[in-house]
Structure 1
């Protein structure tokens, strides 16, 4: 007779979330054998300490992990099991991204052999740097996929790249080597562009061609890269720029010194104190003594609070050795740009001084 502390297959199925038929399959495959089998009736019984393995097995199969990989995870220690799961998920994500990319290419091809509209021809290394800089201002927000995209506006004079995560807005203007014959506006999938940066950087010139479902980055002697277009409307950032109030305080400070001060700051929130004697990087709680930085400052003395995750990327992507901070008040967007080159501009939103940490 079986041990009464054992669970029959029906009870164990309820405890583990696996069906009885699935338990029989996993027993036959060797992944989860019953603790006892009645030699007369053939009934299967499971022990309480098998519930954890059964639950993990079910969860792994729910993410479509193949049986051999499931067995390796179940038989591994905690660290190795975690590594195997991460490795498997990374492969799924990579395969999904590749499938999306191929699907976009197929959809473009279904339109026939209609040539793409030339958006612009740009220097590859310049375009790659600009894409990396602007994409720091993107975010993956549920229900707002456009915030993960890079907005492109092309005209005969310039190509303007813009992105925003609602706390930062970065925009950079590039001069095309070969301008288009007409204007074009669209928002390109940011993840696709990130994946294409390395190839863009190795190309002397890159032709941007638009099709109904995406943008081709054409390079010499190679196939090029296809990037999907996002259908959602991009925020009206020009209206926001036009509505900015007058600058009340301006400071020019060494980019490297400011970044070093931010890196040495222990908190997640910092305070910039700007006065005629310079810029001081302080802590929001007042416990950190602060780091004084030499700077050229004009206008009203001002104290303004930032999240580190907002301010640091805005400063780090600035072009040139010095950055200029245009401030409009403690609760207004700050413009961060190069002191001597104006083709990259970032707006950073401060936080309220009484906002809880």
Structure 2
């Protein structure tokens, strides 16, 4: 190839974003050999056609991908390359999570203070409760506490609560053994999500408080450590205590309501309660049979607010306590009150 069509290593370095020393290293590794080497001076030249590979190599190395894996990605088709990248990222995240958890355990042991026993709970029940309540969390910049779960224990019960400011979900659990102390803190939601699978496989889970988190002691399995969030949790008790009086109460089959929500095409859903039926959508074709006490009412919800509240309810029937078109709605099981969600309606949308 004529030299006029080639780039000296310095020019190629600037265009590819790689340093000259990196290019020499990748050439020696066989990952990116130069198009031509001057036999007298040893100077290296690269072609424009090599820029795509050089740029791809730079990006893969920016995420610390090993050379062997990067070579496999560069030599693969788009589908296989994507799979290899996903596989690498999954390995990195798994390793990072294992390191973080081990570091948290080491830090808790450095404090020199044994964990404070809080409560003993049935593992599968605790895992279900965590998953149900965490549907009301949110990732919001500047407010990490909205991604956390409030853990409150007293001698009679353990209560888990989460809120994204549009929903509030709370579940009360009866401990397998009475809680040792009265204790409350906000636990990192991501840590709990990561621990759920292990919690579910343990018949009993002992919850201990440490200086910076909670240690979940699992029967026959490795301990799980979850961080505490230092930000103040929203005053959910005040919000619940200040709820207006219920005006209309509706009991409807959970599965039927979920199907109606799933079949609705829009992101905003209109609910109408009249007589002994609940209608989903502005122009419903099949009202849902319901037990209704109180006056007729029309209100609207965002699907992402209403659906999780209904889907996590316990039991075959859902009870909705309505207070008006712009007032919070309480959603819970018709026969069990240990999981409760409070959801905010939105202003009615004429397009639903």
Coarse TM-score class (shorter-chain normalised)? over 0.9
Q: Partners in 1 of 2:155 and 2:96 — Cα distance? A: 37
Q: What is the aligned partner in structure 2 of residue 251 from structure 1?
A: 250
Cα pair 1:101 1:228 within 8 Å, conserved: no
Q: Partners in 2 of 1:74 and 1:94 — Cα distance? A: 24
Cα pair 1:7 1:47 within 8 Å, conserved: yes
Q: Partners in 2 of 1:230 and 1:70 — Cα distance? A: 38
Distance 1:46 1:222, change over 3 A: closer
- 1:121-170, CA deviations, whole angstroms, 9 ceiling, x for partnerless residues? 22222222211211222223333222222111111121111011222211
Cα pair 1:323 1:336 within 8 Å, conserved: yes
Q: Partners in 2 of 1:96 and 1:355 — Cα distance? A: 48
Q: What is the aligned partner in structure 2 of residue 309 from structure 1?
A: 304
2:141 matches 1:107 = no
Q: Partners in 2 of 1:85 and 1:205 — Cα distance? A: 38
Q: What is the aligned partner in structure 2 of residue 210 from structure 1?
A: 209
| 36-45 or 67-76: bigger deviation | 36-45
Cα pair 1:273 1:304 within 8 Å, conserved: yes
Cα pair 1:2 1:36 within 8 Å, conserved: no
SS in 2 for 1:198: helix
CA shift, 1:298, in A, is: 2.4
Q: What is the aligned partner in structure 2 of residue 75 from structure 1?
A: 75
SS in 1 for 2:214: strand
Q: What is the aligned partner in structure 1 of residue 140 from structure 2?
A: 141
Superposed, which structure 2 residues align to 1:32-181 within 5 Å? 32-112=32-112, 114-181=113-180
* Length-normalised TM-score, structure 1: 0.92
Q: What is the aligned partner in structure 1 of residue 7 from structure 2?
A: 7
Cα pair 2:157 2:179 within 8 Å, conserved: no
Name stretches of at least 5 consecutive residues in structure 2 with no aligned partner.
Answer: none
What CA RMSD, in Å, does the superposition of the two structures yield over aligned residues?
A: 2.1
Q: Partners in 1 of 2:23 and 2:327 — Cα distance? A: 61
Cα pair 1:135 1:190 within 8 Å, conserved: yes
Q: Partners in 1 of 2:285 and 2:78 — Cα distance? A: 43
Q: Partners in 2 of 1:219 and 1:96 — Cα distance? A: 22
Q: Partners in 1 of 2:110 and 2:182 — Cα distance? A: 25
SS in 2 for 1:229: strand
Q: Partners in 2 of 1:300 and 1:334 — Cα distance? A: 15
Q: What is the aligned partner in structure 2 of residue 319 from structure 1?
A: 314
SS in 2 for 1:64: coil
Q: Partners in 2 of 1:45 and 1:198 — Cα distance? A: 54
Distance 1:11 1:161, change over 3 A: same
SS in 2 for 1:134: helix
Superposed, which structure 2 residues align to 1:234-249 within 5 Å? 234-249=233-248
Q: Partners in 2 of 1:75 and 1:177 — Cα distance? A: 56
Q: Partners in 1 of 2:49 and 2:321 — Cα distance? A: 64
CA shift, 1:345, in A, is: 0.3
Q: What is the aligned partner in structure 1 of residue 331 from structure 2?
A: 336
Cα pair 1:275 1:298 within 8 Å, conserved: no
SS in 2 for 1:105: helix
2:255 matches 1:260 = no
SS in 1 for 2:4: coil
Q: Partners in 2 of 1:5 and 1:222 — Cα distance? A: 63
SS in 1 for 2:121: strand
Q: Partners in 2 of 1:118 and 1:87 — Cα distance? A: 39
SS in 2 for 1:209: strand
* Length-normalised TM-score, structure 2: 0.93
SS in 1 for 2:3: coil
Name stretches of at least 5 consecutive residues in structure 1 with no aligned partner.
Answer: none
Cα pair 1:318 1:338 within 8 Å, conserved: yes
Aligned length: 352
Q: Partners in 2 of 1:106 and 1:67 — Cα distance? A: 32
Distance 1:272 1:67, change over 3 A: same
CA shift, 1:356, in A, is: 9.1
Distance 1:327 1:14, change over 3 A: same
Q: Partners in 2 of 1:97 and 1:157 — Cα distance? A: 34
Cα pair 2:127 2:200 within 8 Å, conserved: yes
